[in-house]
Amino acid sequence: MNLDPDEFKDYLRDSGRQEAFESRVKYFVENLKYSEEDALEAATGEFSVGMDEFKEEGGEEITPSLSAEEFAGAEDANALKVIKWVFNNIGIKDLQPKDAPSAGAWQLLETVRADEKTRREFLRMWAKTVPSGRQLEEARKYDSDEKQCLELIEQIRLASRRSKQRAKEESDPALSLSSQGV
C-alpha cells in the first residue's frame, strides 16, 4: 500500500483513530507475535479504509447534541464494554441516552447508525473481536482441564484426610478399635 506516512498520520489524528491504531499495532505484536514492521503494515491496511472518503468530505463534524447532565455519574466505560453495548443496541429503536454506559458509547451508537459505511466498518471490526473456532476449542479444553484439575485436587485432599486419620489411629490404638466398631 503506497500511503504518504505524514498524510496517514494526519488522517489518524484528524479522524480520532490514532489511539485505536496504536492499540491495534500493539495487539498484533503482543498477541499475534507479528514483527513491528508487519504489525504496522497490517494495522495500516485496516485503518486506511475510508481514508479517501474522509479526505474528500473534509472529515465529519460532530455537533454535540446532549447535555453533560444526561451523563452525570455515568461510569468510565472501557472500550470493550462500549463496543459490545453499541453492537448489541444498533437495531434497538427505543433507547435513550441514559441507557448508554457513557456519552462516548451513545455518540458511537449514533454515528454507527447514521452512516452505512461506518456501520459496515464497525461490523467488520466487530467480527474480528469474535473468537475463532480454534480459540473457542482452546477455551473448552481449558475448561475441561480446569475441571480435571479441580477433581484431582479434591482427590488429593481426600487422600490427605484419610492419611491423617490413619496416622492418628496408628498412634492411638483406642481410636483404631472404635473406628472398627469394637
For residue 35, the model assigns a pLDDT of 92
Contact (CB, 8 A) for 61 and 89: no
Residue ranges of the chain with per-residue pLDDT less than 50: 1, 59
For residue 174, the model assigns a pLDDT of 64
Domain check: are 8 and 50 in the same one? yes
Domain check: are 79 and 43 in the same one? no
Give the residue from 61, 86, 105 where a domain finishes.
Answer: 61
Domain check: are 55 and 76 in the same one? no
Domain check: are 150 and 107 in the same one? no
Rounded Cα distance between 15 and 12, Å, is 5
Structural domain containing residue 154: 133-179
For residue 118, the model assigns a pLDDT of 86
Which residues in 77-92 are b (16+ Cβ under 10 Å) and which e?
Answer: beeeebbbbbbebeee
What nine digits make up the cell of 64?
A: 454535540
Domain check: are 150 and 126 in the same one? no
Domain check: are 104 and 77 in the same one? yes
Domain check: are 86 and 122 in the same one? yes
Domain check: are 96 and 72 in the same one? yes
Which residue type does 39 have?
A
How many domains does one find in the chain?
3
Domain check: are 112 and 142 in the same one? no
What nine digits make up the cell of 174?
A: 483406642
* pTM for the predicted model, two decimal places: 0.42
Residue count of the chain: 182
Domain check: are 51 and 69 in the same one? no
Domain check: are 77 and 50 in the same one? no
Give the residue from 15, 40, 61 where a domain finishes.
Answer: 61
Domain check: are 78 and 126 in the same one? yes
